[in-house]
Structures are given as structure tokens and as C-alpha cells.
Homo-oligomer: A and B are copies of this chain.
Amino acid sequence: MLSIEQLKNLFPDWEQGLYESVLEHAELKEANAGEILLKKGQNIKSAMLVVEGTIKLYQEDEDGGEYFMYHLNPGEACAVTLVCNYHHEQSQVLAKAITDIKFLAIPVTYMEKWLNEFKSWHYFVIKTYRSRYEELLKTIHEVAFKNMDERLEFYIKKQVDQFGVTVKLTHQEIANDLNTSREVISRLLKKMEHNGWIKMNRNAFDWIKKQN
């Protein structure tokens, strides 16, 4: 299990009692890069708090299409699984481990209990929802108003923020995340290379565009 100091580093705004209750009742789980942590339609039985690694949240179409929404990092919670007051909630989204990860799984019963006991848990839940709500707003803005070239740039920048200037993704993987085809991404990346925005390698490229 985690030490209370580790918990405090990850979640600095909590109350003392909350740390103790988390240590007592949450389960520390691990998953490997590539594992699906949350399927569409799956019943939610515990909340997920990221301890280590990165999780990707995305939507899935009936025909297998995907659309990337945002990443979850250590110290963040999966809003979808914070189903206070709602039992038997079904997930509308997918969560996949991008790296090897560790996370705390909190049974829904305790999530509700803590709402009554810990103010800091309340704030944490609200803060989580608010920040994810804002991520979704950005996603809608992109997909509703922008063409693929701009959406690709937006996507790459998120990858760069997350993992650094070397983006280790194949064209196909990017195309999946943006619900388009590999050819489209290949052509747009080639154009970015001509413009001097990226330096391409096999299975990866570097983002070298100077901002403004």
C-alpha cells in the first residue's frame, strides 16, 4: 500500500482523516500499458484515483470509431467513476492505460460515506468534475469548429504536454484517436514537416514548431 506521505503528495488538499480512510478502504491496483480499465456500458463499482502513470479517456462509436478526449495523471481522478449517489451507473466512455499505471480503487459505498464526512473529499469531487467538464468543452470546440489540420495540431500539443516533444505514435494510432484515416494523418504530417513544425522519424516525430 501507499504511505500517508505519498498520499499527501498526490492529493495535497485533503484532510488527515481522509488520508487514513483511503489507506484503510481503498485498494491499490496496477495495470499494464494498453490495458482497458473501463469499458463502454460497464457497471461502475469503484472510483479510480491515479497514483502513477497516464490514463487515456476516449469515446467509442458503434462502428469501432474512437475519439480521444483527455489524459488523467497522478493526483487526478476519473470523473466518470465518481458516481456519488448514483448506483449502477454505466460508463459512456473508455479508459485505457497508456503507460504502466497504479491507481486507487475506492468502493462506491465509501465515496458516498466520505461525502458526508470529509469536506475535502467534496471539494475534490467537484474540482474533478469541473476540470473534466472544461476538457470536454475544449474537445467539442475542436471537433465542432475545426478542420482536421487544426485538430491534429491541438492533439499533438496535448501529447507534447503529456509526454514531451517526441511524439511516439504511429500515424494509424493518431488517426484512431481523431476518428479519421491513416492517409489523412500521413498527408497532414507531411505538410507540417514541410512547414518546419515537426521532424519526422519512423514510429515517432518531434514537435519543433516555435509558438507565435
Contact = CB atoms under 8 A, between A and B. Distances in A.
Contacts of A79: 133
Contacts of A126: 84-85, 115, 122, 125-126, 129
Q: Which range holds the interface residue count of chain A?
A: 35 or more
B86 A130 contact: yes
Contact of A127 (B85, B132, B145): B85
Interface string A22-64: 0000000000000000000000000000000000000101010
Nearest to A138: B92
| Copies of the polypeptide in the assembly | 2
Nearest to A121: B122
Interface of A: 59, 61, 63, 65, 67, 69, 79, 82-86, 92-93, 115-116, 119, 122-123, 125-127, 129-130, 132-134, 136-141, 143-145, 179
Given A59-B145, A63-B145, 13 more contacts: A59-B137, A67-B145, A84-B126, A85-B123, A86-B130, A92-B137, A116-B119, A126-B126, A133-B136, A136-B137, A139-B140, A143-B144, A145-B179
